[in-house]
Amino acid sequence: MKSIREDIDQKLTESLQDLGVDSPISKEEQKQIVNKLEQAKKAFDRLRTWIDQAEKLADLGAWEHDIKDDELFWSDETYRILGFDPKEVEPSYEILMKRIHPDDRERVNQAFSESLENRAPYNLTYRLELPDGKLKYVEAQARHFYSEAGDPVLTIGTNQNVTKRELEKQKIEESLEEKQVLLGEIHHRLKNNLAVVAGMLQLQWLQEDDPDVVKSLQESTNRIKAVAGIHQQLYQSGNFANVALGENIKNLASDLISTMETNTKIELKSECDTVYLDMAQTLPCTLIANEVVTNAVKHAFEGREKGRITIRLDKDNSTIRLRINDNGVGLPADFEDRKGSLGMNLINTLTNQLEGNYKFESSEEGTTFTLEFDKE
């Protein structure tokens, strides 16, 4: 099935061929030629109606710049979008620039010149400032054509009114910004509330005489601080979807080493890939690290003046691997018997939440804890 354009081309071609013969044309032949031309005109009018209506429906206007003859043509819809009456003005680059918002003119000029020079498509959204003071957003696109010598000869483009889209985009961005501020405030308040709880536990252990109770309160305080540290990092970074896991665990370990009572001078080293996790995985992973580092500070360096804890975080495709190593005395002989402790139960439960696995390895050179799980 032929398109309307193909039908017009065929009828016009046949008519020109008939007119180009050397022999005289009979009246019957003249009627046939006139009939073909009339049919071509009807088809052309129909095609033009389609194009005009399509431009109106899409709020899109077409234009053409004949660079060789320096002639500029605008469709009726282009005039309407730019706010001009076709009967009152002739299309020109100068009157177009007068309609463009002053703050956007240089950007439009530069982008168009670069696309022409680089033989690249032109695509840019800019603002129009209409005589009544209203702003209109236009998405302009153009394609350039060049001679065999490489000189630009023709540019064909479109201007589409995208004001509604841009205003809705601005509303979404403003709403998102408001929600970001609100989320930041939530994380900040959570951190502060957790700090209050930690402070209350600290006051409680200062009033206790039982060493076991004091120990339990201190460990609970550190766990709460570990959670508070996550919310603090989220608040400070402004990224409320993901947490930089390596940085978070490093800060946690540093705080534990500086605040826990020990006679050993402990050095902290970290070798962490850049890994971002959401809260659902960051929280259990951080609490696991809290338990491991706490145990290392408390037990790994008994009777030693110096020690070292090394944190390594690797990402291999979707697999996250966390290693916490100390150069201490190794695991105690009754380690297996201690697996029923609160700390080990926490590690087991949290590892199950991550759908991962863990292991402890001990030698004369110290202890290494390894946790592996897949990033969601």
Instruction: Name the percent of the chain lying above pLDDT 90.
Output: 22
Helix (H) or strand (E) holding 44: helix 27-58
Per-residue confidence band for 10, with pLDDT thresholds at 50, 70 and 90: low
Give the list of residues 6+ apart from residue 223 with CB closer than 8 angstroms, or none.
Answer: 287, 290
Inform me whether the pLDDT recorded for 282 exceeds 80: yes
Q: For residues 245 and 237, what is the distance between their CA atoms, to the nearest angstrom?
A: 13
The pair of structure tokens assigned to 227 is 């959670």
Torsion of CA 131, 135, 137, 141, to 10 degrees: 30
Helix (H) or strand (E) holding 128: strand 122-129
Determine the pLDDT at residue 11: 56
Average pLDDT in the chain: 81
Query: How many secondary structure helices (H) and strands (E) does the chain include?
Result: 10, 12
Give the list of residues 6+ apart from residue 157 with CB closer than 8 angstroms, or none.
Answer: 62, 63, 64, 65, 122, 140, 141, 142, 143
Lowest-confidence pick of 207-216, 225-234, 316-325: 225-234
Alpha helices by DSSP H, listed for 207-244, are: 211-237
Inform me whether the pLDDT recorded for 1 exceeds 50: no
Residue 376 DSSP symbol: -
The three-class DSSP label of residue 85 is: coil
Determine the pLDDT at residue 2: 37
**Residues 24-49: pLDDT tens digits?**
666 676 677 666 666 767 766 676 66
Determine the pLDDT at residue 204: 80
Determine the pLDDT at residue 4: 40
The pair of structure tokens assigned to 353 is 């939440």
Rounded to an integer, the average pLDDT of 231-235 is: 66
Rounded to an integer, the average pLDDT of 168-184 is: 77
Inform me whether the pLDDT recorded for 108 exceeds 60: yes
Inform me whether the pLDDT recorded for 19 exceeds 60: no
Residue in 199, 285, 190 with CA at minimum distance from that of residue 232: 190
Residue 101 DSSP symbol: -
Inform me whether the pLDDT recorded for 337 exceeds 70: no
Determine the pLDDT at residue 324: 92
Inform me whether the pLDDT recorded for 158 exceeds 50: yes
Sheet hosting strand 265-272, strand order edge to edge: 265-272, 306-316, 319-326, 366-374, 357-363
Per-residue confidence band for 142, with pLDDT thresholds at 50, 70 and 90: very high
Rounded to an integer, the average pLDDT of 339-363 is: 86
Q: For residues 376 and 374, what is the distance between their CA atoms, to the nearest angstrom?
A: 6
CB atoms within 10 A of CB 235: 19
Torsion of CA 119, 125, 126, 132, to 10 degrees: 130
The pair of structure tokens assigned to 226 is 């570990």
Give the list of residues 6+ apart from residue 312 with CB closer than 8 angstroms, or none.
Answer: 270, 271, 272, 321, 322, 323, 324, 325
Decide if 161 contacts 136 (C-beta within 8 A): yes
In the block, residue with structure tokens 């800060």: 251
Rounded to an integer, the average pLDDT of 201-205 is: 77
**Residues 327-336: pLDDT tens digits?**
988 887 777 6
Instruction: Label residue 314 exposed, middle or buried (CB < 10 Å: 0-12, 13-18, 19+).
Output: middle
**Of 175 and 113, more confident:** 113
Per-residue confidence band for 71, with pLDDT thresholds at 50, 70 and 90: confident
Decide if 48 contacts 4 (C-beta within 8 A): no
Decide if 278 contacts 216 (C-beta within 8 A): no
When computed from its CA atoms, the radius of gyration of the chain, rounded to whole angstroms, is 37
Per-residue confidence band for 297, with pLDDT thresholds at 50, 70 and 90: confident
Decide if 44 contacts 9 (C-beta within 8 A): no
Q: For residues 203 and 205, what is the distance between their CA atoms, to the nearest angstrom?
A: 6
